[in-house]
Structure 1
Amino acid sequence: MKATLAFDVYGTLIDTHGVIVELEAELGERGMEFSQRWRDKQLEYAFRRGLMGAYVDFGQCTREALEFTDRALRTELSERHKDRLMATYARLPAFPDVPEALAELRRRGHTCVAFSNGTREAVKALLEQAGIVDCFDDIVSVDEIKRFKPDPAVYAHLRTRLEVDASKTWLVSSNPFDAIGARHAGLHAAWVRRSAEAPFDPWGGEPDCTVSDLVELSERLG
């Protein structure tokens, strides 16, 4: 059955730890800790702003999370270095499996869209520099309704915007909260477990399928 596949971007298609080389050059062995703390705080800020009804775009959440992490870890990064890290975040690389898998999924007749907390402009630029923007039929951003995943309104917007039935729509994400949110909203969900150590949230709502990468997903969906 041909499906509409909505791919999360940050952490699923794009490696958010792509900043690690630059961070390690500045911070040494603390680079990985900084990268993980930054990513965690970025998502936390989006969740908190969503609950508060105090939306700002995801880029601002990312910058504010960077500022917090610098303060929390007392790394004392210069403003110039922070600007450079933000610029690096805008040109993060795709995971190696992504181009081949997307091409195969489209060859088999599936509709592929990028579906992100990032703005359309930021996501398009990111996918362009990663060389995969042509793999997508569309880009859907939460910025269009000023909400963040996993708000049910975001997944409803995806269906409305694409004019697709929930039963034929899959959310593909490496983030358990996203997969759970999609399932709660009536979509199918594929969890991309990019780390063998990554646990899934024990909420009782398992994804429809779990894969290690997108190549495996293309094989599973056929």
Structure 2
Amino acid sequence: MEPTIQAFVFDVYGTLFDVHSVKAACDEQFPGKGDQISQTWRTKQLEYFFIRQISGRYEDFSVVTRDALRYALAAADVTASSDVEDALIATYAELSPYEEVEDVLKQLRDTQTVVLSNGTADMLEQLIANASFTELFDELVSIDGVKQFKPSPAAYMSWFKTTDLKRDEVLFMSSNGWDIIGAKNFGFRTAWINRDGKPFETMDVRPDAVYDDLTEILEWRTS
């Protein structure tokens, strides 16, 4: 008999919230370049925290996000004042949640729900509060407490060590393949939220389930 899921643990960026909802703000500041800036910003954000993790040069996610934005602006051949840069950074506290997220979270209120993110505590609290999701989570956990970005095992342990659960009693959800690999390697059950219809990473670690959005994770609830 398979263990029942006792905790639903969510990644944030790209899983609960659309990171490319910053495009409109970028386009407002730099007409016609919003999509390019948004795409490069996210790509470099991921690259920079991986580089910092591997090289042992940790800076928190707010620093990584600002550095990535500066690269994206330079790559788009535009210059931003400090006020414009701050305005674009502020959009990370106002990302748009995906349309099914609120309903799914409300249906999980009888089960433990947790955010486990590379974002800083301040970034997560502001984002979740602005979406009016604060009451829908039991915990918001930032890896900044251990200064180890996901997919490092220490990042997943930063929350798990505070529980009395078994690893396979946790369902971890992310739209990021590298995050699913990290969580599965750690021992969590995993659901890859494949919003873009992409193939999974060509590695020897596979998710337990693949969904187009979060709606189908509800089948993991105990009756």
Give the structure-1-normalised TM-score.
0.93
Query: Separation in 2 of the partners of 1:96 and 1:182?
Result: 25
Identical positions, percent: 37
Name the SS of the counterpart of 1:134 in structure 2. helix
**Structure 2 residue ranges without an equivalent (≥5):** none
Pairing 1:7-156 to 2, within 5 Å after superposition: 7-106=10-109, 109-156=110-157
Task: Using the TM superposition, give the Cα deviation of residue 49 of structure 1 relative to its aligned residue in structure 2, in angstroms.
Answer: 0.7
Query: Separation in 2 of the partners of 1:114 and 1:50?
Result: 21
Query: Separation in 2 of the partners of 1:118 and 1:162?
Result: 21
Query: Separation in 1 of the partners of 2:62 and 2:164?
Result: 28
Query: Separation in 2 of the partners of 1:2 and 1:49?
Result: 33
**Structure 1 residue ranges without an equivalent (≥5):** none
**Matched residue pairs, number?**
219
Are positions 1:192 and 2:193 aligned together? yes
TM-superposition CA deviations, 1:59-95 (whole Å, max 9, x none): 0000000111111221223322111100111221211
**Residue 211 (structure 1) aligns with:** 211
One-letter identity of the residue aligned with 1:103: K
TM-superposition CA deviations, 1:193-217 (whole Å, max 9, x none): 1112x22111021100011111121
Query: Separation in 2 of the partners of 1:23 and 1:66?
Result: 10
**Residue 174 (structure 1) aligns with:** 175
Which of the pair is proportionally richer in helix? 1
RMSD in angstroms over aligned alpha carbons? 1.4
Name the SS of the counterpart of 1:29 in structure 2. coil
Deviates more, 1:139-148 or 1:89-98: 89-98
Query: Separation in 2 of the partners of 1:122 and 1:28?
Result: 27
Query: Separation in 2 of the partners of 1:154 and 1:202?
Result: 23
**Residue 202 (structure 1) aligns with:** 202
| Structure 1 outlier segments of 4+, above 4 Å | none
Query: Separation in 1 of the partners of 2:92 and 2:166?
Result: 34
